[in-house]
Structure 1
Amino acid sequence: MRVKNIDLVPPLVEAGKFHELAQAGQTISASLSPYNNSLAVHIAPLEPSSSKPSAIVQEEALYFASYDDIPSSERRLFIADTLVIFSMFKTMLKGAKLRDSSWLQSRDALEIIRKLSVDYVNFIKECWIHASQPLSRSEPLQFTAEHYRSVYSSFSLFVVLCIPEPGYEDAPVGEELMEWLNIHFIEPSTEEGDQLSSLDSPWEDENFWPYLTRSILRGLSKASLFFLNTLLQHPSEDIQDLVKTLLPLVETHPRLPQFTAERDFAYASRKWKDKVKALRVEMDRIPEESRFDEFCNWWDSLSDIVGILEGRGEVIQRVCQDLGADWKEVCAAWGVFVDNRLRRQDLPDVVADVLDNMPPDPTHLEDMIHSALFSGRPEQALKHASELDLWLSAHLADIMEPLGLLDAESNSESGLSRRDEYVLSYAEYLHSDPTLWRITIVYLYSCGKIGEEQGDEILMRTPLRLDAPNSGEMQLDAVSEVVKEISSICREHGRELVRRAICKIASATLVRSKAYGLAISYSVSAEDWPGLGRIIDAVLEEYIQNGPVIFASHASKIAPSLEEVHASSQTEAIFVHRLMFAVRYSQIHKMRLEQDFCTAASDLVTLLRDEIAPRSWWPVLLCDSVEFLQYGPKLLFSSADAIELLRKLEEISIRSSQGSAEDYLVVLIRTIKGAGIKEALERLKTVRLAIARYLARCTVGVEKHYG
Structure 2
Amino acid sequence: MDTQGQDQTPVQTLYLKPEAYPRGGKEKWKATGRTISAAMGPVGGEVAVWVTKKPSDDPNKPAKLTDANPTVSDEAIIFASIDSLPQPLIQLYTESHLLFTSLQQIVADSARRRLSSVGFGVNGGAETWDTRGNFGTEGLLGPPDAETVINMRRLADFYVDQLGDLKTLPDIDATLRDRFIDAYNIFNIAEILYLPIDGKGEGLVGEELLDWVNEVDVAPDNQLGNEIMSTLNSWDHPSFWPYISRSILRGFHLPAASFLRSLSSHPYAPISKLAVLLAQHLTILPRSSEPKWRVDMDFLQAHKQWLGKFKSELAAQLGGKGEGKWFEGEWISWEGDFRCVVELMEGKMERILEEAGDWREALGAWGILVDVDMRRDHLPEVMSIITEKIPVDKFLPDHVAQSALCSADIIKALMSCYSLDTWLSAHLADLLDKLSLIPDDEEHFENSLRDFFLLEYAQVLQDNPNYKAFWRVICDYLGCAGEEGRGRLKEHLRRLDIPLERDVKGKSKESSASANANEQEGLDAAMDIENPTESQEEAIKFLDEVRSACVDFRLDDVWQEISQVLATRLVSAGQYGMAATLALMARDGLALSRIADKVLEAFVTYGQGEYLSLVDTLPPSLLAEAPTALLHLQQSTSNPTDFPSHSAVSVFASRITFLSEFRDYLLFLSQGARDRAAGRVVSLLTSGIAPVGFWAVLLVESIGLLEDSEILFSSNETFELLRVLEEVYANAAFAEEDYLGQLVQYLRRTLNTPSAKEEGQSVKKNEKKVTMEDARRKMEEVRLAISRNLARAMVAGFDNPF
TM-score (norm. length: structure 1): 0.81
Is contact 1:483–1:506 with CA below 8 Å preserved after alignment?
no
Is contact 1:445–1:452 with CA below 8 Å preserved after alignment?
yes
Aligned to 2:517: none
Counterpart residue identity of residue 692, structure 2: R
Deviations 1:335-393 (A, max 9, x none): 21111112222222222222223212222111111121122211100110000011111
Query: Which residue of 749, 757, 777 maps to 1:682?
Result: 777
Is contact 1:38–1:65 with CA below 8 Å preserved after alignment?
no
Secondary structure at the aligned position of 1:256 is classed as coil
Note if 1:89 corresponds to 2:164: no
Note if 1:460 corresponds to 2:494: yes
Is contact 1:104–1:402 with CA below 8 Å preserved after alignment?
yes
- Pairing of 1:523-562 with structure 2 (within 5 A): 523-558=583-618, 559-562=620-623
Query: Aligned Cα RMSD in Å?
Result: 3.8
Counterpart residue identity of residue 418, structure 1: L
Note if 1:266 corresponds to 2:297: no
Deviations 1:87-125 (A, max 9, x none): 122223333444154474422232223333233222222
Most deviating of 449-458 and 614-623: 614-623
Note if 1:648 corresponds to 2:724: yes
- Pairing of 1:18-417 with structure 2 (within 5 A): 69-98=83-112, 99=115, 100=118, 101-102=140-141, 104-129=143-168, 132-134=169-171, 141=173, 144-166=176-198, 169-196=201-228, 198-199=230-231, 201-258=233-290, 259-278=293-312, 280-281=314-315, 282=317, 286-291=326-331, 299-320=335-356, 325-408=357-440, 411=442, 415-417=446-448
Q: How many positions carry a matched residue from both structures?
A: 641
Structure whose residues are more often helix by fraction: 1
Percent sequence identity is 28
Kindly tell me: are residues 269 and 198 of structure 1, through their superposed partners in 2, closer, same or farther at Cα, counting changes over 3 Å? same
Kindly tell me: are residues 254 and 601 of structure 1, through their superposed partners in 2, closer, same or farther at Cα, counting changes over 3 Å? same
Aligned to 2:738: 663
Counterpart residue identity of residue 310, structure 1: E
Kindly tell me: are residues 553 and 150 of structure 1, through their superposed partners in 2, closer, same or farther at Cα, counting changes over 3 Å? same
Is contact 1:66–1:432 with CA below 8 Å preserved after alignment?
no
User: Partners in 2 of 1:557 and 1:469 — Cα distance?
Assistant: 12
Is contact 1:83–1:439 with CA below 8 Å preserved after alignment?
yes
- Residue ranges of structure 2 left out of the alignment (5+ in a row): 1-8, 13-38, 49-62, 64-77, 119-139, 506-528, 634-646, 749-768
Counterpart residue identity of residue 385, structure 1: C
Question: Which structure is higher in RCO with an 8 Å CA cutoff and minimum separation 6?
Answer: 1
Counterpart residue identity of residue 207, structure 1: S
Deviations 1:2-38 (A, max 9, x none): xxxxx9989xxxxxxxxxxxxxxxxxxx9996xx577
Aligned to 1:15: none
Kindly tell me: are residues 642 and 80 of structure 1, through their superposed partners in 2, closer, same or farther at Cα, counting changes over 3 Å? same
- Pairing of 1:424-443 with structure 2 (within 5 A): 424-433=455-464, 434-435=467-468, 436-443=470-477
User: Partners in 2 of 1:221 and 1:596 — Cα distance?
Assistant: 102
Kindly tell me: are residues 412 and 626 of structure 1, through their superposed partners in 2, closer, same or farther at Cα, counting changes over 3 Å? farther
User: Partners in 2 of 1:574 and 1:274 — Cα distance?
Assistant: 93
Most deviating of 512-521 and 453-462: 512-521
Counterpart residue identity of residue 133, structure 1: P
Aligned to 1:55: none
**1:145 offset after TM fit, Å?**
1.6
Is contact 1:104–1:110 with CA below 8 Å preserved after alignment?
no
**1:699 offset after TM fit, Å?**
6.8
**1:180 offset after TM fit, Å?**
0.9
Deviations 1:207-234 (A, max 9, x none): 3333332222111234334434444445
- Pairing of 1:458-537 with structure 2 (within 5 A): 458-467=492-501, 473=530, 474=532, 477-537=537-597
Most deviating of 464-473 and 529-538: 464-473
Kindly tell me: are residues 458 and 464 of structure 1, through their superposed partners in 2, closer, same or farther at Cα, counting changes over 3 Å? same
User: Partners in 2 of 1:413 and 1:66 — Cα distance?
Assistant: 38
Kindly tell me: are residues 68 and 448 of structure 1, through their superposed partners in 2, closer, same or farther at Cα, counting changes over 3 Å? farther
Counterpart residue identity of residue 73, structure 1: Q
Secondary structure at the aligned position of 2:734 is classed as helix
Kindly tell me: are residues 73 and 672 of structure 1, through their superposed partners in 2, closer, same or farther at Cα, counting changes over 3 Å? farther
**1:412 offset after TM fit, Å?**
7.3
Is contact 1:623–1:684 with CA below 8 Å preserved after alignment?
yes
**1:313 offset after TM fit, Å?**
1.9
User: Partners in 2 of 1:264 and 1:192 — Cα distance?
Assistant: 37
Is contact 2:744–2:772 with CA below 8 Å preserved after alignment?
yes
- Residue ranges of structure 1 left out of the alignment (5+ in a row): 1-6, 11-29, 42-58, 135-139
User: Partners in 2 of 1:690 and 1:194 — Cα distance?
Assistant: 116
User: Partners in 2 of 1:69 and 1:604 — Cα distance?
Assistant: 64
